Amino acid sequence: MSHTSGCSILDNLTTSQPQLLTRCSSTDSGSQLVLNCHRNGTAAKDINPTNAAQRPLNAGGTRQAAVDADGGIRNSGFVDNFAVQRRHSEYVEAYADMLNDCSGKSNARHARPLSCFVQTKLTKNGYVSALQGEHEVQGPWQNSGQLRQEFAAKMAAWLKPLNSQNNLCNGGIPSQNHILAPKIQNSCSPNGHKKGTVTLSHLPQRPPVDIEFADISYSVSEGRRRGLKTILKSVSGKFRNGELTAIMGPSGAGKSTLMNILAGYKTSQLSGSVMINGKERNLRRFRKLSCYIMQDDILIANLTVHEAMMISANLKLGKDMNLAAKRVVVHEILETIGLKDSSNTKTCNLSGGQRKRLSIALELVNNPPVMFFDEPTSGLDSSTCFQLISLLKSLARGGRTIVCTIHQPSARLFEKFDHLYMLAEGQCMYEGRVRGLVPFLSSLGYNCPSYHNPADYVLEVASGEYGESVQKLVAAVKSGECKKFSHKDYGLTAVRGIANDIVKGDNDCNNSNSTSTNNATLTATTTLTLEDEKCKMDEMSSTLMSHSNALNNPILETQQSQLSDCTVINLNIPNSNNDNGNSNSGLPYSCSFSSKGGQVALTGAAEKAAAAGCTTSLLDSHESVVTLPNSSGFPTSGWTQFWILLKRSFVTIMRDRMLTHMRLASHVIVGAIIGMIYYDVGNEASKVMSNAGCIFFTTLFTMFTAMMPTILTFPTEMSVFVREHLNYWYSLKAFYFAKTMADLPFQIVFSSVYVIVVYYLTSQPMEWMRISMFVFICVLTSLVAQSLGLLIGAGMNIEAGVFLGPVTTIPTILFSGFFVNFDTIPGYLQWVTYVSYVRYGFEGAMVSIYGMDRAKLECHEMYCHFRSPKKFLEEMSMDNAEYWIDAVALLGTFVALRIIAYFVLRWKLHLIR
């Protein structure tokens, strides 16, 4: 079934210029969308969209070109989107070229009301076909403003589907207190005007943030003799919202340090000021508005993408938003960021690029207006780098302030950044637009060779390959010489200038009679929000400009809206019908694209606020719509944080089959082996020493199996914790208690299983009281050992911890009373036995087996010296031992170690900052 496409917009489009007649119609037959455009022209042409700009005009004949454009009819995820965008850009280029061709011809013979005919098809199998022909134009040309507006919509409608990442808007439709806002679908009124836009519409709104820093100096101590080392030397700058900023510099220049300071991760030993939106930074408040995505992007391995996102949503969105709403947010982000298809993939199975995107998605949940990225492209191939930086740029266009440190980007990647902050030797050697870098360097005598990547060149300059350049550049920055390159419109004016040069008729590639109607007034502004194809759009605009002579000296205006989600290319096509010379009398219209394929928003100036769904939502946000933190400063209460983290830890332990199953298996198998070795010794008076050995080994085994894995707990999860904690997901307390509690049940079960197996096989007294006392004391010993492992892990790195754990345990074993009787230990060392938790464990276990007036043991030998259990305890210097004292001592040690571990972790966190 055929019907008019999209928003029932343009079906007939003409300009009011008699020389430049355009007529377009579109039909959508389900399997293909057909755009027919007509312009003044004479000859039929065939188009090859892939190299349209370079191709000479070819009058006569028919040519058909196919461009893969499957993404136009399906939003096929992150990777596909870029291919799709490229294809669409090619398509648009071809389309522009066709118009050029037409207009060129039409102007050559503008007396004749002929139209060039262009037909394009986007087929379901993903190909665009373009046909061009000509026929006589029918009817009068009037109401061109409306038609131009529709033309804009038509163009946008074609471009829309490829731009799903361009609208990672910073909040969408206002939703008070996180009540799930209805997802407003794009729909256009019959005249093509926007009613709404689909974006990340369910995110909470946040205010836009500009970061300004002045005279930041940072030093670290290198020991008493060497004193302080200054890493940053009075650096100043400004990072604006809506911009993608790169911090570059040679290795060791201080990039990470600067970013850590700006992100609030480093707070000590620094001077200078950081201003947020012109006011002194309140660190606590700022940290709630920002997130820091680190280079290593360590994720919790055993969770799926969706689970990780839901945990993030539960922690960051608070209880004001219900679960269903959170699911919508998560779904929307995953879809937008291209991870929808990987929702059920475990994070450990994601590719490098997907991991980076998940790291971003996790932070996007509460829509932070400031995002810091430490070398986000490291370890990624060039294509993935490009996709990632494009994604970041899209995020920036949503009004966010995106700051990345980056190493030697390719030229293609480099030009995607808006703003560059260049550091060398801890000083700023350039701050300004990326486009301004080469002119700035040139102005100081450092001319970037042709075909040389400016990013490479500036790094060479910063590394001193061209002499003593750093100080010269630093001095130039300090004297304000690069200020003119800092303005957000820098470079765009240059484009405009170039465009105007072209317009001025230096080029005569098409039509020399172009300026004949240089008195346009009615302006149709097509605003193409096609950020990722900006260059191509520039080319397209230039191409169109090259035909501008025929369009009566149009004005090419490229804008980059600071607050817009879009790089905007305004093609102002003056209308020749109006001769008052006012070329700007027409309403500017802008199309912004949503994250959903096939939807377009076309707005006029009057509707601009509504139109910029993403941008206004960001700008108009107030604290009332920001997730209000509770008194703890976190979006959720401490108890909720603890509960969510406990569940997360529990799930990850359960899913860590290797470790969990191995732990269980080892307890059962070793228990069985010990049981077989000491089989039936428990009630035999002649084997009491062997039985004591069995009890001692049981204590040691439960101790080591508990301690060694937990030494790794904090070192392995520290980076996740640091990222999540410093990004204000949860408190240290919640994390610590959840983490330490989650493993308790496992440890209790595993130890109990081992002890019971050994107890049974070794024929210890089958009395419930003794069994429970024995199991209890062994479990307590294992928990103390676990706490010691946590403490060592909290304070040490893995290597040190793995060494220190067993080493610190050896003395406690020596003083346990098994190898040396307490009475034998010299008096001045006896106190050590009181701090040896192994002593309490072993003594408690011995008492539970041989204490409490146990009856005489069986003797199957001629003579058994220790038939009386009491006598044996006397021999072991344990006759006066009290089981409950041992148990309380172990409990006390357990609590003390846990508290100390918490403070050690806190201290370590403090050191990081």
Ligand X SMILES: Nc1ncnc2c1ncn2[C@@H]1O[C@H](COP(=O)(O)OP(=O)(O)OP(=O)(O)O)[C@@H](O)[C@H]1O
Q: Is 228 in the site for ligand X (CB under 6 A)?
A: no
Q: Is 409 in the site for ligand X (CB under 6 A)?
A: no
In SS3 terms, 247-308 reads as: EECCCCCCHHHHHHHHHCCCCCCEEEEEEECCEECCHHHHHHHEEEECCCCCCCCCCEHHHH
Pair of tokens at residue 473:
């550049």
Q: Is 459 in the site for ligand X (CB under 6 A)?
A: no
d(Cα 86, Cα 74) in Å, to the nearest integer?
A: 15
Alpha-carbon dihedral sign for residues 430, 531, 188, 367: negative
Q: Which residue number, 408 or 690, has a Cβ lying nearer to ligand X?
A: 408
d(Cα 443, Cα 448) in Å, to the nearest integer?
A: 11
Q: Which residue number, 422 or 785, has a Cβ lying nearer to ligand X?
A: 422
Instruction: Write the CB contacts of 844 (distance below 8 Å, at least 6 apart in sequence).
Output: 773, 777, 780, 781, 881, 883, 886, 887, 890
Out of 182, 252, 745, 892, point to the residue binding ligand X (CB under 6 A): 252
> Among the candidate windows 64-72, 138-146, 252-260, 708-716, which touches ligand X by CB under 6 A?
252-260
> Among the candidate windows 249-257, 770-778, 784-792, 797-805, which touches ligand X by CB under 6 A?
249-257
What minimum distance in Å lies between the beta carbon of 200 and ligand X? 31
Out of 32, 75, 186, 257, point to the residue binding ligand X (CB under 6 A): 257
x/- mask, ligand X, residues 826-845, rule CB under 6 A, reads: --------------------
How many Å separate Cα 4 from the centre of its chain? 39
Closest CA to 174 of 750, 618, 474, 668: 618
d(Cα 272, Cα 237) in Å, to the nearest integer?
A: 12
Q: Which of residues 861-890 bind ligand X (CB under 6 A)?
A: none
> Among the candidate windows 127-135, 253-261, 494-502, 515-523, which touches ligand X by CB under 6 A?
253-261
Q: Which residue number, 455 or 568, has a Cβ lying nearer to ligand X?
A: 455
Q: Which helix (H) or strand (E) holds 149?
A: helix 144-159
> Among the candidate windows 245-253, 438-446, 614-622, 883-891, which touches ligand X by CB under 6 A?
245-253
Q: Which residue number, 253 or 262, has a Cβ lying nearer to ligand X?
A: 253
Q: Is 14 in the site for ligand X (CB under 6 A)?
A: no
What minimum distance in Å lies between the beta carbon of 260 and ligand X? 8
Q: Is 268 in the site for ligand X (CB under 6 A)?
A: no
What minimum distance in Å lies between the beta carbon of 378 and ligand X? 9
Q: Is 135 in the site for ligand X (CB under 6 A)?
A: no
How many Å separate Cα 313 from the centre of its chain? 14
Q: Is 393 in the site for ligand X (CB under 6 A)?
A: no
Q: Is 422 in the site for ligand X (CB under 6 A)?
A: no
What minimum distance in Å lies between the beta carbon of 719 and ligand X? 16
Q: Which residue number, 135 or 910, has a Cβ lying nearer to ligand X?
A: 910
d(Cα 388, Cα 392) in Å, to the nearest integer?
A: 6
User: Measured between alpha carbons, how far is residue 671 from residues 585, 596, 688, 695, 772 in Å?
Assistant: 89, 60, 19, 12, 17
User: Measured between alpha carbons, how far is residue 454 from residues 425, 440, 441, 489, 825 in Å?
Assistant: 19, 11, 10, 20, 74
Q: Is 572 in the site for ligand X (CB under 6 A)?
A: no
Out of 14, 75, 256, 641, point to the residue binding ligand X (CB under 6 A): 256
Q: On the CB side of 433, how many CA atoms lie within 13 Å of its CA?
A: 16
What minimum distance in Å lies between the beta carbon of 231 and ligand X? 4
What minimum distance in Å lies between the beta carbon of 296 and ligand X? 12
Q: Is 231 in the site for ligand X (CB under 6 A)?
A: yes
Q: Is 255 in the site for ligand X (CB under 6 A)?
A: yes
The answer to whether the beta carbons of residues 401 and 209 sit under 8 Å apart is yes
661 class by beta-carbon count within 10 Å (0-12 exposed, 13-18 middle, 19+ buried): exposed
Q: Is 376 in the site for ligand X (CB under 6 A)?
A: no
> Among the candidate windows 48-56, 248-256, 485-493, 508-516, which touches ligand X by CB under 6 A?
248-256
Strand ordering across the sheet containing 555-560: 524-527, 567-573, 555-560
Q: What is the largest CA-CA distance in the chain?
A: 132
Q: On the CB side of 509, how many CA atoms lie within 13 Å of its CA?
A: 17
User: Considering just the CA atoms, what is the radius of gyration of the chain in Å?
Assistant: 36
What minimum distance in Å lies between the beta carbon of 280 and ligand X? 24
Number of residues binding to ligand X, judged by CB under 6 A: 12
d(Cα 668, Cα 758) in Å, to the nearest integer?
A: 9
d(Cα 553, Cα 541) in Å, to the nearest integer?
A: 13
What minimum distance in Å lies between the beta carbon of 400 and ligand X? 22
> Among the candidate windows 76-84, 254-262, 536-544, 866-874, which touches ligand X by CB under 6 A?
254-262
Q: Which residue number, 228 or 829, has a Cβ lying nearer to ligand X?
A: 228
Q: Which residue number, 237 or 254, has a Cβ lying nearer to ligand X?
A: 254
> Among the candidate windows 184-192, 255-263, 609-617, 862-870, which touches ligand X by CB under 6 A?
255-263
> Among the candidate windows 244-252, 279-287, 615-623, 696-704, which touches ligand X by CB under 6 A?
244-252
DSSP 8-state class, residue 447: P
What minimum distance in Å lies between the beta carbon of 220 and ligand X? 4
Q: Is 427 in the site for ligand X (CB under 6 A)?
A: no
Q: Which residue number, 231 or 889, has a Cβ lying nearer to ligand X?
A: 231
CB atoms within 10 A of CB 665: 11
> Could you tell me if residue 215 is left (phi over 0), alpha (psi between -120 and 50 degrees) or otherwise beta?
left
Q: Which residue number, 233 or 655, has a Cβ lying nearer to ligand X?
A: 233
Q: Is 266 in the site for ligand X (CB under 6 A)?
A: no
Instruction: Write the CB contacts of 688 (distance below 8 Å, at least 6 apart in sequence).
Output: 850, 857, 866, 872
Out of 229, 284, 319, 412, point to the residue binding ligand X (CB under 6 A): 229
Q: Is 912 in the site for ligand X (CB under 6 A)?
A: no
Out of 147, 162, 253, 568, point to the residue binding ligand X (CB under 6 A): 253
> Among the candidate windows 251-259, 358-366, 379-387, 687-695, which touches ligand X by CB under 6 A?
251-259
Out of 104, 254, 368, 795, point to the residue binding ligand X (CB under 6 A): 254
Q: Is 251 in the site for ligand X (CB under 6 A)?
A: yes
Out of 57, 214, 220, 855, point to the residue binding ligand X (CB under 6 A): 220
Q: Is 157 in the site for ligand X (CB under 6 A)?
A: no
Closest CA to 301 of 339, 355, 249: 355
Q: Which residue number, 262 or 849, has a Cβ lying nearer to ligand X?
A: 262
Closest CA to 201 of 181, 217, 186: 181
What minimum distance in Å lies between the beta carbon of 223 and ligand X? 10
CB atoms within 10 A of CB 679: 12
Strand ordering across the sheet containing 228-239: 228-239, 211-221, 270-276, 279-280
Q: Is 483 in the site for ligand X (CB under 6 A)?
A: no
Out of 6, 49, 249, 675, point to the residue binding ligand X (CB under 6 A): 249
The answer to whether the beta carbons of residues 198 and 595 sit under 8 Å apart is yes
Q: Using CB under 6 A, list all residues that contact ligand X.
A: 220, 222, 229, 231, 249, 251-257
